[in-house]
Amino acid sequence: MFSAKQFRALCAVLIGCLCSASLAIAQPGTVTSSIKAFENLVYKISPGKSELKLDVFLPDTIADKNFPLLIIIHGGGWALGDKTLETIYYMKKLKQELLNNGIAVASIDYSLVSKDVHLPTPVEDCKDAIKWLYANATQYNLDTTNFGLWGGSAGGHLALLAAYSGKEQFKGDSLLMQYPSQVKYVVDNFGPTEMNDLLRVDAGKFTTFIFKIFFRKIYNVRERLSFALTGYHLKTDKEKLKEINHACSPLYYVSENAVPTLIFHGTKDRVVPYAQSEKLKALLDRDHIENEFVTVAKGDHGFNNISQEETDKLVDKTVEFIKGRNKQEGYRLVSH
């Protein structure tokens, strides 16, 4: 049975999650030549006939090698958000520092969960975006031996699943299946790693009853999010819901084949428990996977309460980690 304190934590999870924020050939997008941006490139047509798009940003450099690539997966509780990077200082700063260091950036959209879209569709979309970038790497001068993933919150969850899962898992669009989706590393910012635990699926009957009576709004949001993520109702299809949550929990994909991982998590995160990242690190250590866990003292979910100086340090750490994985030379920055 879960305590009232744990259920209050669930309240933060639910409100935070909901309020945060098939083509194998390159299609024409909006090109901003001054910053080498290729925007709104369609990488896939969803089953609902929606165009899923991504943006590619290339370093303003002259290089004798192709560019390493970091693929960014946005957060927003799986139900909100998009690929825009310019509205959040952390993301804007990260993008600019990567480009300054000769690393290309792609930012992707994916299907958001709803009454009609559920897990694992967003994971499949993310892997399809990676495959599309492999398929079109020559056009954008991308080094396919140096692809990495970055995700925040729900995006961290999706990035971990995409990075750790194999070719036969989360297959996605048949038109892209011929292309690989493996990456060299993953950067996880406070992403959920165990979905049943995150949603307190096994909360005791008495605790659930108390919250149903006294905290009806929280109870209802939990029900709606659980259904949006899985397509099953917690009250009537609990075992099926748990099965999907388990199948979409990054912890269960950690093995000796997992890729190097950089983890950021704040100790005051009331949306995704800090312990979820601790568990991830423990499993990576168990399997001797290169990893680093950066604790952000008193950092909340999204690091909204830390200073710009602290944010810059996180960006610097990320760039340092990525450069350590790439170890590429040969880029000469050109000033304009």
Dump pLDDT digits (tens) for 155-208.
Answer: 999 999 999 999 999 999 999 999 999 999 999 999 999 999 999 888 656 455
pLDDT of res. 18 = 44
pLDDT the model gives residue 48:
84
The answer to whether 52 and 125 are in contact (CB under 8 A) is yes
Q: What is the pLDDT of residue 244?
A: 98
Asked, for residue 204, whether it belongs to a domain, the answer is yes
Task: Quote the pLDDT of residue 29.
Answer: 56
Q: Specify the pLDDT at position 326.
A: 78
In terms of DSSP bridges, do strands 61-63 and 331-333 run parallel, antiparallel, or are they unpaired? antiparallel
Measured CA to CA, the distance from residue 125 to residue 275 in angstroms comes to: 28
Q: Is residue 333 part of a domain?
A: no
Is the pLDDT reported for residue 330 higher than 60? no
Q: Say if residue 33's pLDDT is above 70.
A: no
Task: Select from 101, 23, 91 the least CA-distant residue to 311.
Answer: 91
Of residues 271 and 61, more confidence is placed in: 271
Q: What are phi and psi of 54, to 5 degrees?
A: -140, 160
Q: Is residue 235 domain-resident?
A: yes
28 found inside a domain: yes
Residue 279 in domain: yes
CATH code, domain carrying 243:
3.40.50.1820
Torsion angle defined by CA atoms of residues 262, 143, 50 and 80, in that order, rounded to the nearest 10 degrees: 20
pLDDT at res. 108 = 99
* Banded model confidence at residue 28, pLDDT cuts 50, 70, 90: low
Provide the residue range defining the domain that includes 150: 4-324
Residue 228 pLDDT: 96
Average pLDDT of the segment spanning 228-246: 96
Residue 242 lies in a domain: yes
Does the structure show a pLDDT above 60 at 7? no
Average pLDDT over residues 73-97: 96
Q: Could you tell me which of 188, 158, 184 has the C-alpha nearest to residue 323? A: 184
pLDDT at 142: 98
Strand pairing report for 51-57 and 104-108? antiparallel
Against a cut of 0.85, is the pTM above it?
Answer: yes
| Token pair recorded at residue 303 | 């690091």
Number of domains, the chain: 1
**Of 50, 49, 88, which Cα lies nearest the Cα of 72?**
88
- Has residue 180 been placed in a domain? yes
Q: Judge whether residue 214 has pLDDT over 50.
A: no
Q: Is 262 left (phi over 0), alpha (psi -120 to 50) or beta?
A: beta
Q: Which of 320, 325, 335, 336 is nearest to 101 (CA)?
A: 320
| 102 DSSP 8-state letter | T
Q: Per the domain annotation, does 206 fall within a domain? A: yes
* Both tokens assigned to 222: 């939990």
Residue 117 scores a pLDDT above 90: yes
Residue 30, judged by CB atoms within 10 A of its CB (0-12, 13-18, 19+), counts as exposed
